[in-house]
Homo-oligomer: A and B are copies of this chain.
């Protein structure tokens, strides 16, 4: 079978590095071009020396009019605002587009506006006509639409952990929809490759903090997806924290169990919901799950618990933010979009310790 020809835009960042690592080992796809706006001409293995001998493609100038343009799929590992401008061009070249940012996570201009306001962007989407066909790239909930999509908006890292951690409860009506809290902890790699005072080693190695309390933009896609699962609109309280580790998101999720529900009934509902999923593992009450259980892999591990004293459902949901939270989901989406085995190139356990 001919390999899928993939290009990455914004290849120099962690998201590009992650996709490159995965595509190097992918049996049905290959990287044929890497684009960026800096370090032009340098081999990617110069920025990421562990790739030396595995991928030594040079970074091409994303703005060069003579750039190659013959790809089956283009990954936009770029900040908000880039994909929405450039996707149209690549679609016209018959490439499919998978965008890591929020640009294609919403399928109408109105819902996008709320998201955009949270990240200090003008609320106007640059290509509103593309939004109706954009698909939210969380395979476990939108596999069919992804299969037929030309444009996929890869989900936010926090969103993956929260949505997968709550969808079964809402679909099954286990909890009330009016008092859901997602308390999420992320490793530092989620902030990307660019140095910043908060992520300077001496400032971070022994430091944790909450940030953007009640103001993080991922709340919109979480609410949209959970609303779909619940069959009604809902609002959640979401607090992100950054802690001193590299890879991992752990979301601790709280909801009020409805009458008659328990940890056990919830556990069964979660198991049933995910029984055919390759990348979701469900654990019962009393299990301890740790971020390293999924580090370096595309899995989401979920433990289902309850506090019978207070009637709370307590779900812990963990992912590797650079894998299931980013490049792993992107490759999973690519597999689905091109009719490949969904797990192709992704069945790796990670490494420990």
Residue of B nearest to A199 (CB): B201
Contact of A213 among B14, B247, B314 (CB under 8 A): B314
Nearest CB of B to A251, in Å: 10
A339 within 8 A of B: no
Q: Find out whether the CB atom of B237 lies under 8 angstroms from the CB atom of A205.
A: no
Question: Who on chain B is nearest to A246 by CB?
Answer: B202
Known A-B contacts A188-B202, A205-B205, A243-B243; A293 and B50 likewise in contact (beta carbons under 8 Å): yes
Asked if A245 and B293 make an inter-chain contact with CB atoms under 8 angstroms apart, the answer reads no
User: Size range of the interface on A?
Assistant: 35 or more
* Number of copies of chain A assembled together: 4
The answer to whether residues A244 and B201 also contact, given A183-B252, A353-B189 and a CB cut-off of 8 A, is yes
Interface flags, A320-353, vs B, CB<8A=1, else 0: 0000000000000000000000000001111111
Provide the residues of chain B in CB contact with A291, threshold 8 Å.
206-209
Q: Judging by beta carbons under 8 Å apart, are B206 and A295 in contact? A: yes
Are the C-beta atoms of B305 and A214 separated by less than 8 Å?
A: yes
Query: A203 near B353 (CB under 8 angstroms)?
Result: yes
User: Once the chains are docked, how many angstroms separate the CA of A194 from the CA of B196?
Assistant: 9
- Partner pick for A312 among B206, B208, B237, B306, CB 8 A cutoff: B237
The distance in angstroms between the C-alpha atoms of A202 and B281, with both chains bound, is: 24
Contacting residue for A197 out of B195, B351, B352, CB 8 A: B195
Can you spell out 21 A-B residue pairs with CB atoms less than 8 angstroms apart? A24-B349, A49-B301, A50-B296, A53-B349, A179-B179, A181-B254, A185-B208, A189-B202, A199-B200, A199-B202, A202-B353, A203-B292, A206-B206, A207-B290, A209-B291, A210-B250, A210-B303, A213-B285, A213-B316, A237-B312, A241-B250
Across the A-B interface, give the 4 residue pairs with the lowest CB-CB distance, nearest first: A214-B307, A202-B353, A195-B195, A49-B293
Give 13 new A-B contacts, CB below 8 A, not counting A183-B183, A237-B310, A239-B252.
A50-B293, A50-B296, A50-B297, A52-B293, A54-B349, A193-B197, A206-B246, A208-B250, A210-B252, A214-B306, A214-B307, A214-B314, A237-B307
Q: A residues within 8 Å of B by Cβ?
A: 14, 17-18, 21, 24-25, 48-55, 179, 181, 183, 185, 187-189, 193-197, 199-211, 213-214, 235-237, 239, 241, 243-248, 250, 252, 254, 256, 281, 285, 288-297, 301, 303, 305-310, 312, 314, 316, 347-353
